[in-house]
Amino acid sequence: MDSKFIRNFSIIAHIDHGKSTLADQLLLKSGTITEREFREQILDDLDIERSRGITVKARSVTINYKLNGQNYELNLIDTPGHVDFHYEVNRSLAACEGALLVVDAFQGVQAQTVANAYAAINVNLEIIPVVNKIDLPVIRVDEVLEEVENVLGLDASDALRVSAKTGMNIETVFEAIIKRIPPPAGNPNAPLKALVFDSKYDNYRGVVTYIRIVDGSVKPGDKIKFMRAGISSDVLEVGQFRPEMRACGGLGTGQVGYLLTGIKDLSLVTVGDTVTMAVGGTDQPLPGYLKPKQMVFCGMYPIDATGFETLREELQKLSMNDSSFSFVPETSDALGFGFRCGFLGLLHMEIVQQRLEGEQDMDLIQTAPNVTYEILTRDGQVRTIDNPQDVPDAGVIEEFREPIAHVSFIVPSENVGTIMQLCQDRRGIFKNTEFLGPQRAQIHYELPLSEIVYDMYDKLKSVTRGYGTMDYEVIGFLAADLVKMDILVKGVRVDALSTIVHRSTAERRGRSLVKRLKNEISKHQFEIAIQAAIGSRVIARETISALRKNVTSKCYGGDITRKRKLLQKQKEGKKRMKQFGEVEIPQKAFLTVLESNREDG
Amino acid sequence: MTKHNDKSADTSAAESSPGAAEPSVFTQTQTSQVDESGVTAVYIHVPFCLHRCGYCDFTLVANQDDLIPDYLAALKNELESTAADHAFHGPQSMDTIFIGGGTPTHLSPSHLTELFSLLQRYFHLTDGGEFSVEANPDGLDDDRIRVLKDFGVNRLSLGVQSFDDDCLRLLERRHSAAEAIETIQRCSDEFDNLSADLIYAVPGQSLRSWTTTLKSAISLPLSHISTYGLTYEQGTPFYRRANSGELRRQTDETERQQYLTGIGLLKGAGFEHYEVSNFAKNGFRCRHNQTYWQGRSYFAAGPGAARYLNGRRSTNCRSVARWIRSWSDNSPCIQESEDLNAEEKAREFMMLALRMIDGLNIEAFERRFGVSVRTLAGEAIQRHIAGGLLEYHGKNLRLTAEGLLLADSVVVDFL
């Protein structure tokens, strides 16, 4: 197909503004899918994302559309909406010439609208503002368009007004895509140059490589080369997503589709790599992407020690399809053998955990998440720390550095004060505030990433009753007065409960942590002190008093079975506890500490 | 007004069953020799009360006396079925019969007569046997006492609970301390084996009030006393009230002090402490309950009643209406049933034996179960001996004074 009849575009939006629904509506109206298929959000083929209304893995789909008697090939490259997946957004955008910027007709511009729009602007995409949900009873289209102009600096005069849900005005979207987004510019006669914008592992077909042809063309039988990886392979199949994988005779300049090469190892196919011909190919690779940086880490342990190998297999499977997730074995006195896992952010972590527990049916203990730190030692070395257990003695540390993120909040004007207070309490550095209109403001802060990870999302949501949104980007490491806080239970340090905290918040967090632990550990025959300590200095303490009476009064004929079962259950529970010195700590304690991280602090 | 917190008020009944009869392993057995070939204990549950007390979660109905005739008819069917299943040839000899509730004596004299007449067709008390009935101080009139005597009842277990009127009110009992005293005195003319249940750790109950209750009990003609710490069972009004903060639970320190005070006073007054909650004058230990604790078999009938026959523990359904409906149609109404394997039997036996003050006779245990106690629980024994909760006393392994207070923490490791 002549590339002037091809359009490559993405849809970008804040979560829940209707990106997926619009995508589905485009597929439906173009006959790519049936009415029945439309009922499902077919672009999100992972349950978790669907249930959360978030697309995580970028996918693409090829749509045929006829306008004024001419056939066009429209390639929709889906993008993840969440802040954790910035880099996936960027790599998708790099394969497009334009983007539909979907904005909710009532909610207007939100934090991720801004982040995603800027990402698109940065790569010079043609942006078409689309005001969605105009079928809702309460909308404020004019204000929303004003926000688009003021905040994003886009021309909103010819913004589209649609309802993805009802299909209202969807034809205007096709028309705008064809008329306003430029066709791909590549040279069909130049040597093959194609961008790898995604990849996945398929159990039957090996690695599926998602490509966008920039120059030249590719067909089955070609011998191609992944330039960065330096590996060559025969092309076994070329095809498009319609939306299922459908083989075709070849892909030409500007087209989007997939390659099957017989490569079985996903790690060999790097997103951002350039594909060219093994012989006579280009020697100028495409710019590619920055590798995503993992900023959030946690330990994951099987509840049952025998689950270690299973967990390893499952993590391996997951990492095959998610190169932004990593894991290495680690050992904890408290939890035994497990893995330290790295994630792009909190949501990414949650998704991986849910996938393990939900889809693989595994019971996991997850330690409290922490960010990556840097330590400059006295002898001038810089060490990266992604596990509190690895923090060296205070005497060795010259400088303890933490990641700082630039955070932007969009919140109702009445919440500005509260948000600023929250940031202030979390060691934030105020940058500036912009009012987006009379009712909403955008606030910029620099905040330690650890504070964001700790509870910022939940605080923001509760303070703004769900109306506030945020987005962040890590901008560097800064020295801070950081310390490792240990938890001692009857004098024994519980490694899995150690955390890195700022000295100014250590006492507050220590107090709340020991209080929660007190509720999780049952009474023993002796008194148990639960302490939070920095080095040898105790900063918080709770005491569990000794068990003074524990005997069932009645055990007659009708009580025996019940009593025995009750005690057997307790015994099962005890088996699942971990022994620290003389104290048994239920594994649930580790979870509770993690969960309630978000409730206070 | 039931005597909740009363021993065996829930279910149960006894008898060494054919096949299940195993030699007693206890050093001190006050029961008669178990008939190796037969079950010698039976429990009958009578699920009627004048009203339900706030802490009670037993199988019973209040204000539904119209069900009593249906209950008696259904009971007849269940007993008939039991007789058929176990090939009764005429009334079976029982060492102990225990009628619990509910409040069995809530039945009118004529209904009581009907109940006992029915039982006579299936069971016959051996010479020197123990025939217990649970009763509440209120409503236990001379007519009813007459019926009990006529049918050979020789032991009464009274749901006294307290001799402090404030406690009685809080517990929603329908009698006063004075009435309880009067009833005990009147009963003592007819029964020399008289037991009372007492409850401690009642919200607001002081150690002084508890001491007064204990002293009152000691001063009365009682041969047996059971003391129970108040529990808050799920689904009861007390449970809700305690969780909402309306009722203030006693601390376990207070409960401990009250329990220890009970042990001290009762032992000082000549009662033997023979099980966690039970105290008896010499020769008055409850033989029926020891059937349970010695892992012997027993028959049972009535809603919610539990039996142990041929190594199977089964419990009737706890809904009175459902049990009646089911047995009216002659179909059994079992809530749960469990066959114990050899190891479960042995471990359960240890659990029950350790709750008795004399403890577990090691040699008898090993003779009976063919496995050593050490094999089953060697590590737990060592640990709890080291922790001061268990001790050897002659051939017996038993809880120490401190171990008794923490019996559940110890026993759990034997299961």
Per-residue pLDDT, A77: 87
User: Are A437 and A143 spatial neighbours (Cβ–Cβ below 8 Å)?
Assistant: yes
Pairing of strands B299-301, B41-46: parallel
Q: Distance (Å, rounded) from C-alpha A223 to C-alpha A262?
A: 12
Say if B34 is an interface residue toward chain A (CB within 8 Å). no
Q: Which residue has the higher pLDDT, B396 or A83?
A: B396
pLDDT exceeds 80 at position B306: yes
ipTM: 0.87
Count of C-beta atoms within a 10 Å radius of residue A127:
22
- The answer for B 328-387 residues in CB contact with A (under 8 A) is 336, 338, 348, 351-352, 355, 387
Distance from CA of A579 to the nearest CA of B (A): 14
Per-residue pLDDT, B12: 37
Residue (of A115, A62, A57, A61) closest to A91 by Cα position: A57
Q: Distance (Å, rounded) from C-alpha A272 to C-alpha A196?
A: 5
Q: Tokens 């693989």, residue?
A: A360
Say if A574 is an interface residue toward chain B (CB within 8 Å). yes
Contact B289 A570 (CB under 8 A): no
Per-residue pLDDT, B8: 39
Q: Which residue of A has its CA nearest to B312?
A: A561
Distance from CA of B277 to the nearest CA of A (A): 6
pLDDT exceeds 60 at position B20: no
Residues making up chain B, counted from first to last: 415
Q: DSSP readout, A508-523? A: HHHHHHHHHHHHHSPP
User: Are A241 and A59 spatial neighbours (Cβ–Cβ below 8 Å)?
Assistant: yes
Contact B12 A556 (CB under 8 A): yes
Contacts of A558 in chain B (CB under 8 A): 8, 10-12, 304-306, 315
pLDDT exceeds 90 at position B347: yes
Contact B351 A570 (CB under 8 A): no
Count of C-beta atoms within a 10 Å radius of residue A384:
11
Distance from CA of B305 to the nearest CA of A (A): 6
Q: Which residue of B has its CA nearest to A550?
A: B406
Q: Which residue of A has its CA nearest to B315?
A: A558
Contacts 24+ apart (CB under 8 A), B76-84: B76/B118, B77/B327, B77/B328, B77/B330, B78/B301, B78/B302, B78/B327, B78/B332, B79/B118, B79/B119, B79/B121, B79/B122, B79/B301, B81/B330, B81/B332, B82/B122, B82/B299, B82/B301, B83/B122
What SS3 state is found at A201? Answer: strand
The angle, 0 to 180 degrees and rounded to 10, between the axes of the packed helices B342-354 and B362-369 is 160
pLDDT exceeds 70 at position B117: yes
Say if A525 is an interface residue toward chain B (CB within 8 Å). yes
What are the φ and ψ backbone dihedral angles of B384, each rounded to 5 degrees? Answer: -75, -25
Task: For residue A550, give the nearest of B9, B10, B408 by CB distance.
Answer: B408
Q: Which two tokens stand for residue B317?
A: 């359904």
Per-residue pLDDT, A289: 65
Say if A575 is an interface residue toward chain B (CB within 8 Å). no
Per-residue pLDDT of A93-138, as tens digits, reads 888 999 999 999 999 998 878 878 888 888 889 999 999 999 999 9
Contact A567 B405 (CB under 8 A): no
Say if B8 is an interface residue toward chain A (CB within 8 Å). yes
Task: For residue A549, give the nearest of B305, B313, B405 by CB distance.
Answer: B405
Contact B406 A550 (CB under 8 A): yes
Q: Which residue has the higher pLDDT, B7 or B258?
A: B258
Contact A547 B406 (CB under 8 A): yes
Contact A567 B351 (CB under 8 A): yes
Angle at A349 between CA A343 and CA A354, to 5 degrees: 145
Q: What is the mean pLDDT of each run of 10 residues along chain A (601 residues)?
A: 92 84 88 75 46 48 93 86 58 86 92 83 91 93 91 91 93 96 94 89 87 95 92 95 90 95 84 90 81 79 84 84 82 84 81 73 78 93 90 92 92 92 92 85 93 80 79 89 94 88 90 90 92 94 94 92 91 78 81 52 36
Per-residue pLDDT, A600: 43
Say if A572 is an interface residue toward chain B (CB within 8 Å). no
Contacts of B291 in chain A (CB under 8 A): 557
Contact B12 A557 (CB under 8 A): yes
Per-residue pLDDT of B247-256, as tens digits, reads 999 999 999 9
A–B CB contacts, 8 A cutoff, strictly below? 111
The fold of the B38-293 domain, in CATH, is pyruvate-formate lyase- activating enzyme (3.80.30)
Interface probe, candidates A551, A561, A571, chain B, greatest B C-beta count within 10 A: A551
Q: Which residue of B has its CA nearest to A552?
A: B408
Contacts of A564 in chain B (CB under 8 A): 348, 351, 415
Average pLDDT value over all residues in chain B: 91
Q: Distance (Å, rounded) from C-alpha A436 to C-alpha A112?
A: 15
Pairing of strands A528-534, A537-544: antiparallel
Contact A568 B256 (CB under 8 A): no
Say if A203 is an interface residue toward chain B (CB within 8 Å). no
B290 burial via Cβ count (<10 Å: 0-12, 13-18, 19+):
buried
Per-residue pLDDT, A361: 66
Contact A555 B409 (CB under 8 A): no
- The answer for B 53-72 residues in CB contact with A (under 8 A) is none
Distance from CA of A147 to the nearest CA of B (A): 50
Interface probe, candidates A547, A553, A562, chain B, greatest B C-beta count within 10 A: A553
- What average pLDDT does this structure show over B223-239? 95
Class of domain B1-11+19-36+342-415: mainly alpha
Q: Tokens 């109206």, residue?
A: A29
Task: For residue A553, give the nearest of B14, B276, B306 by CB distance.
Answer: B276
Domains of chain A: 3-180 (3.40.50.300), 193-277 (2.40.30.10), 296-368 (3.30.70.870), 374-479 (3.30.70.240), 483-600 (3.30.70.2570)
Residue (of B160, B155, B162) closest to B184 by Cα position: B160
Contact A558 B8 (CB under 8 A): yes
What SS3 state is found at B177? Answer: helix
Contact B5 A553 (CB under 8 A): yes
Task: For residue B277, give the nearest of A553, A557, A567 by CB distance.
Answer: A553
Say if B233 is an interface residue toward chain A (CB within 8 Å). no
Task: For residue B338, give the nearest of A554, A556, A561 by CB distance.
Answer: A561
Interface probe, candidates A554, A572, A575, chain B, greatest B C-beta count within 10 A: A554
Distance from CA of B276 to the nearest CA of A (A): 7
Say if A579 is an interface residue toward chain B (CB within 8 Å). no
Q: Distance (Å, rounded) from C-alpha A90 to C-alpha A194?
A: 16
Question: Would you list the domain boundaries of chain B?
Answer: 1-11+19-36+342-415, 38-293
Pairing of strands A336-343, A296-302: antiparallel
Per-residue pLDDT, A105: 95
Calculate the alpha carbon distances from B302 to A528, B59, B322, B332, B364 in Å: 47, 10, 11, 11, 34
User: Are B136 and B159 spatial neighbours (Cβ–Cβ below 8 Å)?
Assistant: yes
pLDDT > 70: percent of chain B: 91
Q: Which residue has the higher pLDDT, B61 or A362?
A: B61
Distance from CA of A454 to the nearest CA of B (A): 32
Interface probe, candidates B2, B3, B5, B10, chain A, greatest A C-beta count within 10 A: B10
